[in-house]
Amino acid sequence: MAEPITIATWPFGKTAVEAAMKVLAKGEPALDAALAGAQAVEDDTSIRNSVGFGSLPDRLGRLTLDACVMDGRTLACGSVACVEHIRHPAALARRVMEKTPHVMLVGEGAKWFALQQGFPLEVPYTAESIKEWLDAHPDLKKKEKPGKSPVRADGASDITVNEFNHDTVTVLSLDKKGHLGGVCTTSGLGYKLPGRVGDSPIIGAGLYVDDLAGAAGGTGVGEEIIRIGASLFIAEQMRAGKTPQEACELACKRANAAAGRRGVHPARVAFLALDPKGNVGAACTEKTDFKYAVGRGDKVELLTAKEIGPTA
């Protein structure tokens, strides 16, 4: 019998880990635990720039959510992207996995499916998020010079990634039977262009889970994570014998190298991983300041990931 464990991104991941560990303690499957953890964060609108409702909307003021789930035992997976007015996109992604022959549904189609599955439509905004959106909107700020283009994030080096400015939680769990499950859910980058989808709902980019290799997830600038297929890359490194820590560090080096080919430093990404034996690992690129939560038994702790520079 395996020792249950859950890991999750960012300090607010402690909320996810605490919720997931309660589920694992009852002997429930890893995916159930990871989903419970992710949903606890989706429900918490008190977290600044929180995942889910109460987060910063896109450039036009629309809040769209992305999420995916994956079961390491069967490789079953489901995903939704650019979905509006649905409070729990991760739960909806699981319905895609269980109730359809597809992996991903997006936009209005995902919302239509949610309604068919009994999900209510809800208003996703809070007074605080609307105020913050207005106060910091790059198109509404006073321009330094007449005719100057609005401030916008054109590359990885332009986006600040830390616990106060990121909207992704990835939760990875190992249950008592030794099975792995994972969930990734996000509201994406604040002020993103309408229709933008990052790595979080993409299997193999923001999340990958396989009982025979391990589970991995990412956070940070999604475009950089997509470019290297990061989570699948990490899982395959573990399958080949690397530890979760070694695999995460290799993914950071790969992301830095890919960004460097475009003249961008650093890549601003972070990764965490969990292998079938319960070993964990995490790493981030420079200036990302990535912290993650780990839960074993009754103990939940917050750890700081190792930074990997462009020349490491």
Distance CA 145, CA 255 (A): 35
Distance CA 283, CA 220 (A): 12
- Residue in 68, 106, 62 with CA at minimum distance from that of residue 194: 62
- Residue in 71, 91, 69, 93 with CA at minimum distance from that of residue 81: 93
Is residue 259 within 8 A of residue 251, CB to CB? The reply is no
Bridge partners of residue 223, in order along the sequence = none
Biggest alpha carbon–alpha carbon distance for the chain:
67
In 54-191, alpha helices (H): 89-99, 107-116, 127-136
Neighbours of 115 (CB within 10 A): 12
Is residue 181 within 8 A of residue 37, CB to CB? The reply is no
Catalytic residue among 9, 15, 168, 219: 168
Task: Give helix 30-42 / helix 89-99 axis angle, nearest 10°.
Answer: 150
Distance CA 256, CA 240 (A): 22
Q: Which token pair is 257?
A: 């190298």
185 is catalytic: no
Is residue 29 within 8 A of residue 181, CB to CB? The reply is yes
Bridge partners of residue 6, in order along the sequence = 173, 295
Distance CA 210, CA 187 (A): 25
| Residues annotated catalytic, as ranges | 168
